[in-house]
Amino acid sequence: MDFSRFIQYIASGTAYTLGVTLIALPSGLLIGLVLAFVAVYGGKLAGKIMDVYSTVLRGIPPIVLLFILYFMMSGAINLSPFWAGSISLGIISSAYQLEIFRGAILSVSGEQMMAARAVGMSKIQAIRYVVLPQMIRLAIPSWSNEAAIVIKDSSLVYAIGVPEILRRAQLISASTQEPFLAYITAALIYFALVFITNRVLGRVERKLTIPANP
C-alpha cells in the first residue's frame, strides 16, 4: 500500500470523529446547560439530584460508561454504534459541562439576579436577559477545554466498532505492520482538530469580551 493511500485511509475516519464530536458536544451542552440552571435555581432537592448525577458520571472512566450506556441503548432501542456512542459521550460530557456552567452561573448570579428582579423582571427573564449572556462568556475558557476533551474522547468509540481515526489506525497498523506511522498519523489529525477548535473558541471569546478600561 502506498503512503498516500495509507494516510488517506486513516484520515477518512475524520468524518466519523467529527460526527461523533458534533453530536456529543452539543448534546452535552444542551443537557449540561439545562441541568446547571436546574441545579442553581431548582431548589434544594433538584440541586442534590444534580450533584448525584454529576458525581456519579464524573467518577467513572468514560470508556466504562461508554460500554454501559452503549449496551443499554443498543439493547433497548437498537441504535447503531455510531449514534449510541455519540449520545453516550454526550451524556458523559454533560456532567462536566454541568459543573462548568454551574460555576459560571454562581459567579454571575446573586447580585445580578437581584438587580434584574429589582427592575421588575421575573426570574425567567432575569436568567434569560441578565444571567445567561454573562455566564456564557465566563464559561467559554473552561468550555473550550471540555471541547478538546470531547474531541479526544471521541476516539473511545473505536471500542464499539465505529470506524473513526483510531479504529482505522489500528486496523491499518495490523495489516501493514506500520504501527508507528499509523498512530503518529492519528495523533496529528487529533492534534490538528483540537488546535483549530481552541483557536476558533479563543476568537469567539475575544469577540464576546465586554469592553472595559484597564
Partner 1 sequence: MSKPILTVKQLTKRYGSNTVFENIDLTVNEGDTIVIIGPSGTGKSTLLRCLNLLTKPDGGQIWLDDQEITAKGTDEDHVRQHIGMVFQNFLLFNHLTALENVKLGLVRVKHMPEKEAETKALEELARVGLADRAGHYPGQLSGGQQQRVGIARALAMDPRVMLFDEPTSALDPELIGEVLEVMRKLALEGMTMVVVTHEMGFAREVADRIIFMEKGSIVEEGSPDALFYHPKFERTREFLWKITELYGKKEAQA
Pick 59 or 211: Cβ nearer partner 1: 211
Question: At its nearest, how many Å lie between partner 1 and the CB of residue 90?
Answer: 28
Cell of residue 177, nine digits: 505492520
- HEC string for the chain: CCHHHHHHHHHCCHHHHHHHHHHHHHHHHHHHHHHHHHHHHCHHHHHHHHHHHHHHHHCCCHHHHHHHHHHHHHHHCCCCHHHHHHHHHHHHHHHHHHHHHHHHHHHHCCHHHHHHHHHCCCHHHHHHHHHHHHHHHHHHHHHHHHHHHHHHHHHHHHHHCCCCHHHHHHHHHHHHCCHHHHHHHHHHHHHHHHHHHHHHHHHHHHHHCCCCCC
What are the residues binding partner 1 (CB under 8 A)?
111-112, 114-122, 125, 129-130, 133-134, 137, 210-213
Residue among 17, 2, 1, 61 nearest 188 (CA): 17
Question: At its nearest, how many Å lie between partner 1 and the CB of residue 134?
Answer: 5
Pick 129 or 195: Cβ nearer partner 1: 129
Question: At its nearest, how many Å lie between partner 1 and the CB of residue 143?
Answer: 17
Pick 112 or 198: Cβ nearer partner 1: 112
Pick 76 or 118: Cβ nearer partner 1: 118
Pick 123 or 203: Cβ nearer partner 1: 123
Question: At its nearest, how many Å lie between partner 1 and the CB of residue 132?
Answer: 10
Question: At its nearest, how many Å lie between partner 1 and the CB of residue 125?
Answer: 6
